[in-house]
Copies of this chain bind each other. A is one copy, B any other.
């Protein structure tokens, strides 16, 4: 979870907005709107989720990663670095 309450609040608001946006896209489909218009809305949701991920990651780095790095616990340090690797790797889809 975001350690910073402002970040958490903002991520929460953005996710609720994404949820509403997806429901709107479901309705566009039900009302047989034009495919290209639907695709543009899906792309907008994906961009919003990119932004959410960057915010979550910022908070994570400023708290969990920082704490692990400052600790003397090298297995904890390896763990957080491996997690960051996985997050990057998933985006690269390597």
Contacts and interface: CB of A to CB of B under 8 A. Distances in A.
Interface in A33-59: 33-36, 38-40, 42-43, 45-47, 49-54, 56-59
Contact of A69 (B8, B39, B57, B65): B65
This protein's copies in its complex: 4
- The majority secondary structure among interface residues of chain A is helix
A87 B56 contact: no
B42 A53 contact: yes
Interface string A68-94: 111000000100010111111111111
Interface string A6-41: 001001100110110011011001111111101110
The 8 closest A-B pairs by CB, nearest first: A69-B69, A50-B92, A1-B32, A35-B60, A93-B93, A19-B22, A36-B83, A15-B26
Given A12-B30, A36-B60, A47-B93, 5 more contacts: A19-B23, A39-B87, A42-B53, A46-B46, A51-B92
